[in-house]
Amino acid sequence: MVRGANCSFTLQDIISAMWQALGRKPPRWSLPIGPVRLAAGIVEDIVRLVGYQAQISRATIEKYTDDIAVDSSRIQTELGFKPQYDLVEGWRETVEEMRKTGII
């Protein structure tokens, strides 16, 4: 099933589709971003002082918390792209294929 030609998705829409594809419920709680950024920064600085690179950095936190909207109307208009799957079906098939190949 394909949504209308001009569709846009928020980060929350995409995350919800991913959880649904995995057959799981999204977490009931979340951490406030301010303290998480602060903690990541402190850990990153301490780890750097001892000569290592932190696994989770300020940049990592920013990457995963950047709230964006994805709009496919331009690619559809300019290139004539027509999506074959809606967001939920696309993630469901992706997860199914990843399970078949042993990635997850």
The string of DSSP codes covering 27-89 is: PS----HHHHHHHHHHHHHHHHHTT---SS-HHHHHHHH---EEE-HHHHHHH----SS-HHH
Least reliable range by pLDDT among 1-5, 9-13, 71-75, 76-80: 1-5
Q: Tell me, what's the pLDDT at 13?
A: 86
Domain hosting 52: range is: 8-101
pTM over 0.85: no
In a domain, 3, yes or no: no
Cα–chain center distance at 55: 18
In a domain, 52, yes or no: yes
Per-residue pLDDT tens over the stretch 6-62: 467 877 888 899 999 999 998 888 889 899 999 999 999 999 999 999 998 999 999
Q: Tell me, what's the pLDDT at 7?
A: 65
Q: Which of 70, 68, 69, 39 is nearest to 54 (CA)?
A: 39
Q: Tell me, what's the pLDDT at 1?
A: 42
In a domain, 1, yes or no: no
Q: What is the number of domains present in the chain?
A: 1
In a domain, 67, yes or no: yes
In a domain, 21, yes or no: yes
Q: Which of 88, 101, 84, 103 is nearest to 18 (CA)?
A: 88
Q: Tell me, what's the pLDDT at 48?
A: 94
